[in-house]
Amino acid sequence: MNLSTAGGNDATRTFNRSKNVVSCSGLCSRCIDSCRGNCEVFKSSFRGREVIYPGPFGEITAGGDKEYPVDYSHLNIQGYAQGANGLPKGVSGNPDTAIFPAVDTTTEYGWTRKVKMRVPVFTGALGSTEIARKNWEHFAVGAAISGITIVCGENVCGIDPKLELDAKGKIVNAPDMDRRIELYKRFHDGYGEILVQMNVEDTRLGVAEYMRKKHKLETLELKWGQGAKCIGGEIKIKTPERAIQLKKKGYIVTPDPEVPAIQQAFKAGAIKEFERHSRLGFVSEEGFMKEIKRLRDLGYKRITVKTGAYSMVELAQALKFSSAAKIDLLTIDGASGGTGMSPWKMMQEWGIPTFYLQSLAYEFCEKMSKKKMRVPDIAIAGGFAMEDHVFKVLAMGAPYVKAVCMGRALMIPGFVGKNIQEWIKGGNLPPTVSEFGSKPEEIFVCYEELAEKYGKDMKDIPLGAVGIYTFSQRIKVGLQQLMAGSRNFSLSSISRRDLMSLSEEAENVCGIPYVMDACRKEAEKVLFGK
């Protein structure tokens, strides 16, 4: 059985002419000379490198759709008819106390200085892609009013057209980063935080120094990698002038905008865009510990790390180094994570899938714990969207996993709310929305709740933020119901016992008992005693 997709995909705006496709190559079984398209080979024959990426850039996010042998659908949640774990101290479980609205969904992460979140989810890294920039207001305010952490991703300062540098090439003024931080801070009420992510270029520009001096931020995230790709962050650029500007700032820009033939091809209309790439990072224990000390000397009280779907060796290094350095949160992003821009085939074909990566992480955490090594708080990312995903990830990784990082799933409500705002202004609400009303207070079930809380400030909360809050509440309530059914009334009481594997292959990967064996000893004890 071939696990890869065929030679066409909506992400790259390609498709096979024939319904019969060779499973390995993705080519039509009958390729004809006169074909008018539009498989990946066809389109790549004249658009070349453009077809590597999902598009159009700045308008879409993409997630890999490769079907892996085992994923989280191979787990089911256990339900019980007795018990009430995790109720507040002094509260005994009974039909009046053990109700699902009483379930506490708050979580916290951090080595010593904890950050609390109202729901155990937070955003993926929303960095220098255009779709993150133009929708930031919705994302930032939405995360703040939801009481969750938002991650401001890599290269935000570096691509700012209004960025000001000193004679040494260090940041003096970064207006777009300032805007991003201020938007979140305005509505932040003590739950969650804003994490600014830093890669090689960010380090060279002095992002860490600027964040402390200008904004007094207490937390910074070091980026090792992500699940969507194994190379640095990327964006597309529309003009050679802008491409040259970013090249001079030290970024890798392709094709080279300073080559005369490339400039001529742009003038002719053949080349329509350029790509800006970040450099690959190189991780060593010595270098990592040195950087952590430098950042703490700058005044950072919390440092987090984001790593990707690398080999088992890099996973072990991330865990060991994070433990030694007292890292406050290690986010492990599996393949194939979502993205604003990543090579499509790389998304599909590289890296350890999230289910397998989390299984390895749990195995290593258990071994570390037995050797008296403290395991850092962990978050898992890579393809999650709903409350059942949250429960399964937390249970599968208990007690080490504290939260789930969601990329596209927390962006989509921002898009939806923003678009509803525009549709209302234009008087062209689609039937999928207008069936619920024509005003925000009629359409959004949580609107009046927020209006009561924020009063006159409600006018400054965009509808994309309302969408994110509404979605986070759906996650919260759905999670409360699943937790109550498994008799867990706080996140700390969730365990691997609350899951069962639906296939023996899943059991072999994650170690959670197969459905026909899960709880068997206890069941037989009920039937037959000792």
pLDDT at 1 over 70: no
Backbone phi, psi, residue 513, to 5°: -55, 140
Backbone phi, psi, residue 80, to 5°: -130, 155
* Angle ∠(202,141,213) on CA atoms, nearest 5: 35
182: its two tokens: 């201020």
65: confidence class by pLDDT, cuts 50, 70, 90 = confident
Query: What pLDDT is recorded for position 483?
Result: 97
Residues 6+ apart with CB under 8 A from 383: 63, 64, 227, 334, 336, 337, 338, 354
pLDDT at 7 over 80: no
Question: Is residue 398 in a domain?
Answer: no
SS (H, E, C) 433-494: HHCCCCCHHHHCCCHHHHHHHHHHHHHHCCHHHHHHHHHHHHHHHHHHHHHHHCCECEHHHC
Question: Is residue 37 in a domain?
Answer: yes
Other C-beta atoms closer than 10 Å to the C-beta of 431 total: 6
Question: Is residue 63 in a domain?
Answer: no
231: confidence class by pLDDT, cuts 50, 70, 90 = confident
336 contacts 348 by C-beta, under 8 angstroms: yes
Task: Kindly tell me the burial class for residue 46, based on how many C-beta atoms sit within 10 Å of its own C-beta (0-12, 13-18, 19 or more).
Answer: exposed
The answer to which of 19-28, 196-205, 499-508 has the lowest mean pLDDT is 19-28
- From residue 40, give the alpha-carbon distance in Å to each of 16, 26, 37, 45: 8, 9, 9, 8
Question: Is residue 79 in a domain?
Answer: no
Query: How large is the C-alpha radius of gyration of the chain?
Result: 24
pTM: 0.93
- From residue 424, give the alpha-carbon distance in Å to each of 197, 211, 420, 421, 508: 35, 38, 6, 5, 52
Query: What pLDDT is recorded for position 354?
Result: 96
The better pLDDT of the pair 484, 4 is held by 484
CA atoms within 13 A on the CB side of 496: 19
Residue-averaged pLDDT of the chain: 93
Question: Is residue 164 in a domain?
Answer: no
pLDDT digits (tens, 9 = 90+) for 264-285: 999 999 999 999 998 888 999 9
Which helix or strand (DSSP H or E) is residue 378 part of? strand 378-381
- From residue 144, give the alpha-carbon distance in Å to each of 98, 172, 271, 461: 30, 27, 41, 11
Across the range 401-417, mean pLDDT stands at 95
| Residue 315: closest CA among 329, 337, 333 | 333
Across the range 66-79, mean pLDDT stands at 94
DSSP per residue, 271-292 = ---EEEEPPPP---HHHHHHHH
pLDDT digits (tens, 9 = 90+) for 170-213: 999 999 999 999 999 999 999 999 999 999 999 999 999 999 99
pLDDT at 4 over 80: no
Across the range 215-224, mean pLDDT stands at 96
Q: How many domains does the chain have?
A: 2
Q: How far apart are CA 164 and CA 479, in angstroms?
A: 45
Q: Do the bridges between strand 125-126 and strand 150-152 make them parallel or antiparallel, or are there none, so unpaired?
A: parallel
Q: How far apart are CA 257 and CA 240, in angstroms?
A: 5
438: confidence class by pLDDT, cuts 50, 70, 90 = very high
Question: Is residue 24 in a domain?
Answer: yes
- Which residue, of 260, 277, 294, is where some domain finishes? 277
pLDDT at 508 over 70: yes
420 contacts 433 by C-beta, under 8 angstroms: yes
Report the DSSP beta bridge partners of residue 219.
302
Question: Is residue 65 in a domain?
Answer: no
pLDDT at 418 over 90: yes
In the chain, % of residues over pLDDT 70: 99
Packed helices 207-215 and 175-187: angle between N→C axes, nearest 10 degrees: 50
Q: Which domain holds residue 42?
A: 10-52
pLDDT at 510 over 70: yes
Task: Kindly tell me the burial class for residue 81, based on how many C-beta atoms sit within 10 Å of its own C-beta (0-12, 13-18, 19 or more).
Answer: exposed
- From residue 154, give the alpha-carbon distance in Å to each of 31, 158, 195, 215, 480: 43, 9, 11, 17, 34
Q: Position 99: which residue type?
A: I
Question: Is residue 16 in a domain?
Answer: yes
235 contacts 341 by C-beta, under 8 angstroms: yes
The answer to which of 129-138, 340-349, 456-465 has the lowest mean pLDDT is 340-349
- From residue 184, give the alpha-carbon distance in Å to each of 191, 207, 420, 434, 516: 12, 18, 22, 30, 48
Query: What pLDDT is recorded for position 26?
Result: 85
pLDDT digits (tens, 9 = 90+) for 360-397: 999 999 999 999 999 999 999 999 999 999 999 999 99
25: confidence class by pLDDT, cuts 50, 70, 90 = confident
